[in-house]
Chains A and B, each alone.
Chain A
Amino acid sequence: MAYHKITLTINGEPEQVDVPSNMTLLKMLRERLGKTGTKNGCAAGECGACTVMVNGEPVNSCMILAVECDGSEIVTVEGLSDHGSLAPIQEAIMESGGVQCGFCTPGILIASQALLNRNPNPSEAEIREALVGNLCRCTGYVRIIEAVQAAAQMV
């Protein structure tokens, strides 16, 4: 099977990776680049744990091939903080208790950040709508939604 040399930007850093055609973006991030913040949940687009931003839009990285991302800009959960200082959404989700087991958190953070980027002051309904693709089995979502509201205030 053919390998493809792709060039992309990950959290602002240029990367060149040799990937087999059947490698998903998720697998490349975790196993080639050591970015294990992004989680592998269902591999079917139901849980959202693998959410990353591709060219600013939130996508499930389990359902996009790495080779499709040639030339793209990727942001993973590792890219939200700035030199060790956490992004408002990260601060807020810790403050509000929106993290329990933590498995869904990276996907939730990226989906929330993508929402705040396109809509800095979302209503509760808009937050729920934006996070409909992210399952959390622990928190019951209430504190996650409060965290997004709090983060919107902080920005």
Chain B
Amino acid sequence: MKPPPFEYYAPTTVEEALARLAEHGYDAKPLAGGQSLIPMMNFRLAQPSVLVDLNNIPDLSYIRPNEGGGLSIGAMARHSMVEKDALVAERAPLVHETMPKIATTQIRSRGTFGGSLAHADPSAELVCASVALDGKFKVVSQQRERWIPANEFFLGLFTSALEPEELLVEIQLPPFPKRTGWSLMEIARRPHDFCLIGVAATLTLGKKDQCKKARLVYLSAGDGPMVGQQAAKVLEGQSISPELFEEAAEVASSADIDPSSDIHATAEFRRHLANVLTRRALEEAYKRAIPNI
């Protein structure tokens, strides 16, 4: 088990990396933390003939505050760095809570924020959290720069809107709204394993106990991050109550997600778990929204 042969480049600037990607097109793959790509190459599930290693580009590893309360995370910021960052804890509590749940200590030492997103694994915590938070992704190529909203970035199973010559360089998270609670819950057979089902939730309260905005995004629940659109319709504009959460959970687990059956769990069991987790996540998010009232 070893990766197939490939040409290796280690650019030190984004421009140089983009030039390599433009030159080699579909044959090339950017190498970020490599915590998904290298095992895929070990098993020959991926066989890029050129790797463009981004680990020597210091300009891509940062966490910066933005005006108005949001923050920007460089694509090569490692999970362990984001996990420990005080600014992330303050400005993006959902991300802060998510980080220790990602994979294992070893993988978080090396894996990167942008790499996880570009890999577009529907069971990845950050994929769903970035959609729940309405993140924006800065994508550059030699020709152009564009910003892609998180909910338009993930196109399907391991498929993102990135073109072969493009590079994800920055993730921008908007200011975390006031009177908002959050939750990220997963169920896995073993702690830190790929989850059977999970949900990233944010809940913004309006006047009194009214739900102003709700975001539920499900992991391992379909071909991409599955947004609980119909559940949000159930919640928004209504007064918070246990019955309301139950109804939203029912709608989300039956109508919003599309889980499949595999050796680990049946689709039916996943829907059941989604129902339970939705309720728990909404309750937790609600509790956390209250101190901000």
Residues of A that sit less than 8 Å from B by CB: 1-2, 4, 20-24, 27, 43-45, 48, 51, 54, 57-60, 62-65, 67-68, 70, 111, 114-115, 129-133
Contact = CB atoms under 8 A, between A and B. Distances in A.
Given A1-B6, A21-B5, A21-B51, A45 B104 contact: yes
A2 B39 contact: no
A51 B10 CA distance: 24
Contacts of A22: 2-6, 41
A67 B103 CA distance: 24
Interface of B: 1-8, 10, 31, 34-35, 38-39, 41-43, 51, 53, 55, 80, 100, 103-107, 109-110, 191-192
Contacts of A54: 109-110
B60 to A, nearest CB: 15
A69 to B, nearest CB: 10
Nearest to A27: B2
Contacts of A60: 35, 106-107, 110
Contacts of B107: 45, 60, 63, 133
A2 B7 contact: yes
Interface centre among B39, B53, B80 (most CB of A within 10 A): B39
B110 A21 contact: no
Given A21-B6, A23-B2, A64-B34, 11 more contacts: A1-B6, A21-B7, A22-B6, A24-B42, A45-B35, A45-B39, A54-B110, A59-B106, A60-B110, A62-B42, A63-B107
B34 A43 contact: no
B73 to A, nearest CB: 19
